Amino acid sequence: MSRLSIGITCYPSIGGSGIVASQLGSELARLGHRIHFISYEPPFRLDRKQRNVTFHRVELNEYRLFKYPDYTLPLAVKMVEVAAKYRTWAVTDPGRLPSNYDPSYFAERVLPSIGHQDAEAARELGMPGAYNNGPQRVGWFAHCVTNWMGDSAFLSRLEVRLRRPEIFGDVIRIGGTVTAVDNVGECPRLAVALQATNQYGERTAEGTAEILLDDCGRRQRPQE
């Protein structure tokens, strides 16, 4: 079954159309389709945390000339905006794409990198919300290790494997255990096993570090 992107418009208040639209969209999302609800408020039965579900708000313009604000035109504009929002050069002119990604990356309707900032885009990608950046997470491990080892040691190696996403609002704790001490040779070395866990106790990342003690990593080599 091919995965579709489907837009649903309904009245969000308590009523038949909102209930039917919410249930229909929820079931389609459960089947793997990307569902976009377009309205001035989220339907009251809509679970916005559900995978593959995105809500797009229609902004109403107050205009004193009319007794009631116009809704049809802003709704139509939002529909077109959502339909065309993620059109990319991957289809029309791949030669204009940056070379740091494969063209298939830009062919996605929603670029994965947008999910780092935009919660709605992240949900459209199948995530429960905006998620943090991989290099940033690796930097947190380095910060944790260097804070622990102090200024007289040197972080000579750091390897981190990301296991699962970290969503904005998660509480992440990074810790480690010294697994080996090597006193052979001029420079003592420590091996450390690291891990990051979220507030549910789930391991989100793990890694290893090598630390040189006694400022060995900063010593200048004697000039020949």
Contact 94, 103 (CB under 8 A): yes
Considering the domain architecture, whether residues 172 and 154 belong to the same structural domain is answered as: yes
> Which residue has 């006694």 as its token pair?
214
Considering the domain architecture, whether residues 23 and 100 belong to the same structural domain is answered as: yes
* 224 assigned to some structural domain: no
What is the tally of helices (H) and strands (E) in the chain? 6, 7
Question: How much is the CA Rg of the chain, to the nearest whole Å?
Answer: 25
Considering the domain architecture, whether residues 141 and 43 belong to the same structural domain is answered as: no
Considering the domain architecture, whether residues 120 and 145 belong to the same structural domain is answered as: no
Considering the domain architecture, whether residues 116 and 214 belong to the same structural domain is answered as: no
pLDDT digits (tens, 9 = 90+) for 81-100: 766 654 544 455 555 444 44
Which pLDDT band holds residue 193 (cuts at 50, 70, 90)? very high
CATH number where 174 lies = 3.10.129.10
In a 3-state reduction of DSSP, which class is residue 89?
helix
Which pLDDT band holds residue 148 (cuts at 50, 70, 90)? very high
Considering the domain architecture, whether residues 33 and 113 belong to the same structural domain is answered as: yes
* Separation CA 126–CA 115 (nearest Å): 10
In a 3-state reduction of DSSP, which class is residue 90?
helix
Among 124, 147, 171, where does a domain finish? Answer: 124
pLDDT digits (tens, 9 = 90+) for 30-81: 888 878 888 888 888 888 788 888 888 888 776 666 666 777 878 888 887 7
* 129 assigned to some structural domain: no
User: 66: which DSSP letter?
Assistant: S
Considering the domain architecture, whether residues 112 and 173 belong to the same structural domain is answered as: no
The separation between CA 123 and the C-alpha centre of its own chain, rounded to angstroms, equals 9
Q: What percent of the chain has pLDDT over 70?
A: 76
Q: How many structural domains does the chain have? A: 2
* Separation CA 195–CA 180 (nearest Å): 16
* Separation CA 49–CA 122 (nearest Å): 11
> Over the chain, what is the mean pLDDT?
79
Give the model's pLDDT for residue 96: 46
Considering the domain architecture, whether residues 19 and 52 belong to the same structural domain is answered as: yes
Backbone angles phi, psi at 37, to 5 degrees: -90, 130
Considering the domain architecture, whether residues 67 and 101 belong to the same structural domain is answered as: yes
Q: Is the pLDDT of residue 104 over 60?
A: no
Among 124, 148, 174, where does a domain finish? Answer: 124
* 61 assigned to some structural domain: yes
Domain span including residue 83: 5-124
* 165 assigned to some structural domain: yes
CATH number where 34 lies = 3.40.50.2000
Torsion of CA 107, 112, 115, 118, to 10 degrees: -20
Residue 104's H or E segment, with its range, is: helix 103-107
The residue among 119, 101, 106 whose CA lies nearest residue 165 is 119
Among 124, 144, 172, where does a domain finish? Answer: 124
